[in-house]
Structure formats: C-alpha cells, structure tokens
C-alpha cells in the first residue's frame, strides 16, 4: 500500500509532521493500527537501522526519525490497545548503579521500540535490587544493562548475580552494552548476550527471543 510505504519513507527521513498527518489519515481510512505499526513505523525504523549499520545515517538523523516515530506512536497507542495488539516482547532496561550515562541506552530503547518491542526504561544509576524488583513487577523477556565506565561496569556482574540469587535468571535473558564492555566480559559475568551498538542490540534481542525477522 503506497500510503504505508510513504509513512515508512517519511519516518526514515525524520519528517515528523508528515508522519503525524499520514498516521491520522490512515486511521481515518480504517487501516488497522497494527498494520500501520508493522508496515509503516517498524518498516521505516528497519531502514533507519540498516542505514545506521552501514554508516549512511548518524545519531542526529536517527534521533530525528525516532522523534517522528514516537509522535506517531502517541497517536497509535490508544488504537493499538483497543485492538488488543501484541508487542514482540517486553524489554526492561537501565544504566547500572553509579553510572549516569543514558545516550546509548536511550538509542537502544528507541531502536527496540521501532522494532515493535515494549520498553520499560528504569533510567540511570539503578541498583541491583531495583532491577530485581522491576523484573518481578514487569515480567520482561529481556533485561538490558548499560554502563559507560570501567568503574561501573562491575555493577553489571552484581546485578546479574542478584537476578540469579532471586531465582529469576531462568525467566529472563540479560544483555549488556556500553563502551567498556565486550563479548568476553559478557561471557565472564554470565550475561546471555552483548551488543556493541543499538542496531546489533535489536538483532541480539530478536535472536534471544527466537524472532527471525
């Protein structure tokens, strides 16, 4: 459908006003909110992710596209709720205790949301016990831990240990990311996965949940 293709393109281009107008137009034409989400927004953000992966799109442009997506989602969410639309999974995320950095975490959240996942963002400086409490409350499929400092990356291990001691590690998969960490560190602390950037984080979450596309 050309209008859905246009929506994806406007989103990719970061044209928020056009995205908003076309979202409203499609809803008025009785197009399913789930279809608008899948064939418009998710398709558009997939194109953004591919361009980012190839170095053809940079952070300011990605954030512009993300702003357009969130403006459309604000309109769509009540309709999706009424339709009983299902997300692809719930991801709980936060920057670990002692670390106040959030740009990387926020970008991962944007890309995951653009891929159809529900995001619960705890914010920054989150102690292990708050992650444990949030897992019990929100029952996510994935927990994503972020750290940008070599001093705070150690708190990823204490968080994973706390999740394990609480008996929750069999219910959730934990991925980590951030400048000082790598796959070796993920293996060392018992994380289920590692992603070096936001695009790969989406791929890793899909892989862990067995989602092929």
Residue 93 has, within 13 A of its CA and on its CB side, a CA count of 32
The answer to whether residues 58 and 106 belong to one domain is: no
pTM of the model: 0.82
Tell me which of 83, 99, 131 is where a domain ends: 83
| Residues 148 and 179: beta-carbon distance below 8 Å | yes
pLDDT of the residue at 59:
83
Place of tokens 């989103």: 11
Question: Using alpha carbons only, how large is the chain's radius of gyration in Å?
Answer: 18
- Kindly report the CATH number assigned to the domain that includes residue 177: 3.40.50.280
Q: Is the pLDDT of residue 81 over 70?
A: yes
Tell me which of 83, 112, 133 is where a domain ends: 83
The answer to whether residues 178 and 131 belong to one domain is: yes
The answer to whether residues 123 and 75 belong to one domain is: no
Tell me which of 53, 83, 113 is where a domain ends: 83
Range of the domain at 108: 90-209
The answer to whether residues 55 and 109 belong to one domain is: no
The answer to whether residues 78 and 94 belong to one domain is: no
Q: How many domains does the chain have?
A: 2
End-to-end CA distance of the chain: 20
Per-residue pLDDT, averaged over 6-25, amounts to 96
Report residue 46's pLDDT band, with 50, 70 and 90 as the boundaries. Answer: confident
The answer to whether residues 126 and 180 belong to one domain is: yes
pLDDT of the residue at 49:
86
The answer to whether residues 51 and 146 belong to one domain is: no
The answer to whether residues 151 and 47 belong to one domain is: no
The CA distance from 29 to 180, in Å, is 49
């Amino acid at each position: 459908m050309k209008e859905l293709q246009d929506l994806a393109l406007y989103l990719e281009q970061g044209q928020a006003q056009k995205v908003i107008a076309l979202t409203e137009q499609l809803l008025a034409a009785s197009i399913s909110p789930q279809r608008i989400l899948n064939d418009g927004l998710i398709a558009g953000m997939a194109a953004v992710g591919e361009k980012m992966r190839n170095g053809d799109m940079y952070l300011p442009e990605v954030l512009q596209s993300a702003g357009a997506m969130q403006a459309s989602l604000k309109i769509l969410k009540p309709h999706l709720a009424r339709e009983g639309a299902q997300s692809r999974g719930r991801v709980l995320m936060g920057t670990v205790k002692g670390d106040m950095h959030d740009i990387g975490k926020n970008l991962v959240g944007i890309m995951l949301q653009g891929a159809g996942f529900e995001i619960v963002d705890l914010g920054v400086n989150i102690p292990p016990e708050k992650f444990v409490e949030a897992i019990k409350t929100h029952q996510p499929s994935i927990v994503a831990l972020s750290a940008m400092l070599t001093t705070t990356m150690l708190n990823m291990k204490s968080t994973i240990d706390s999740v394990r001691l609480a008996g929750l590690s069999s219910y959730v998969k934990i991925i980590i990311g951030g400048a000082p960490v790598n796959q070796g560190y993920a293996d060392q602390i018992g994380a289920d996965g590692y992603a070096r950037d936001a695009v790969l984080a989406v791929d890793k979450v899909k892989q862990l949940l067995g989602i092929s596309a």
